[in-house]
Amino acid sequence: MAKPKVLVTWPYLFPEADELLQRETEVTYHKEERPMSRQELMEALSDKEGLLCMLFDKIDGEVLDAGPHLKVVSNLGVGLDNIDIEAATQRGVVITHTPGILTEATADLGWALLMATTRLIPQAHAFTKEGRFIGLRYHIFLGKDLVGKTLGIYGMGRIGTAVARRAKGFNMKIIYHNRRPNPEGERETGARYVSFQELLKESDFLVIVAPLTPETQGRFGSEEFRQMKRDAILINIGRGPIVKEKELVQALKEGLIWGAGLDVYEREPEIEEGLLGLDRVVLSPHIGSATVETRSAMALVAAQDLVRVLKGEKPQHSPNWERKD
């Protein structure tokens, strides 16, 4: 029996995932380490039954129509804002993704950004490597204390709860805002649910962990920054378009908030130019889940669910498996 044809939109995954796909499918990989163009993607899908794509691949109705034999689109990531789920459901295409696996790694990265921004670590690192260190000086790279401060979390799901759990070690007061209260997260972390306005006004450190939805898009702009503490620090490990970057740059220049750490961007991979020259900004290239263990596990689950669907079996993680027919 012929193996089902599958497209992977990157030249390689991780060994276990690649071995599984090569064993169970006739897999084709994109040949270059760059996102496939829309035209390339559509042409490559013409005879494929499965697609394993990345978060930067936009999968809408037109792309799905270019793959008339498609049965499954497996997204290598937890977020699904790059995929039109309704369009896929209408065409009988199952969507899968990789939630849960990246929770701890992403929470770690959020804290790494928070601490790097708070203590000006990248700036101090560059200063030292440039040979400018001449001994202890008492008035350079003065950051801020964490212990006893208020951590605000926008989006108290799995990752938000993991971020809050880490704050307990710093004896921080934890507040959060969600679409609805998270009693389980509150019991685990001692966090307190507050209104969005309270979150803005009370947080010393505000970490964005929310998914991108019509309600969260552009949620943080000039009006919100004006309500925050002047010495507050904003961290975004959720989705870039939640923050209006031009307005963030202006807020930082005007001293409305003290600093920011970003791992995701409004028009990714483009970064608002004004962010690049600001002293109290730490930027990372969307590496929230970038550990060997986590990315390997994500790739394996993405490959496993793709193969499961092609065999007619229920995937581990799908937003539309029950509705596909």
Same-domain pairing of 155 and 189:
yes
pLDDT of amino acid 91: 95
Annotated catalytic residue, options 286, 295, 308, 317? 286
State yes or no: is 239 an active-site residue: yes
Do 120 and 234 sit in the same domain of this protein? yes
Of 26, 186, 188, 268, which one is the catalytic site residue?
268
Any idea what DSSP says for residue 230? Answer: T
pLDDT of the residue at 265: 97
Average pLDDT taken over every residue of the chain: 96
Please report, for the domain that includes residue 201, its CATH number. 3.40.50.720
Question: What pLDDT sits at residue 325?
Answer: 59
Out of 30, 158, 219, 239, pick the active-site residue.
239
pTM: 0.90
> Active-site residue 317, yes or no?
no
Whether 268 sits among the annotated catalytic residues: the reply is yes
Residues 126 and 266 in one domain: yes
140 and 226, same domain (yes or no): yes
Domain coverage including residue 80: 5-101+292-323
**196-217 tens-digit pLDDT:** 999 999 999 999 999 999 999 9
Alpha-carbon distances of 222 from 38, 127, 200, 278, 281, rounded to whole Å: 34, 32, 12, 17, 17
Which residues of the chain fall short of a pLDDT of 50?
none
Phi/psi of residue 143, nearest 5 degrees: -100, -145
- pLDDT score recorded for residue 55: 92
Same domain, 126 and 255: yes
> CA 238, CA 207: separation in Å to the nearest integer?
9
Do residues 268 and 174 both lie within one domain? yes
One domain for residues 135 and 266: yes
- Residues 121 and 267 grouped into a single domain: yes
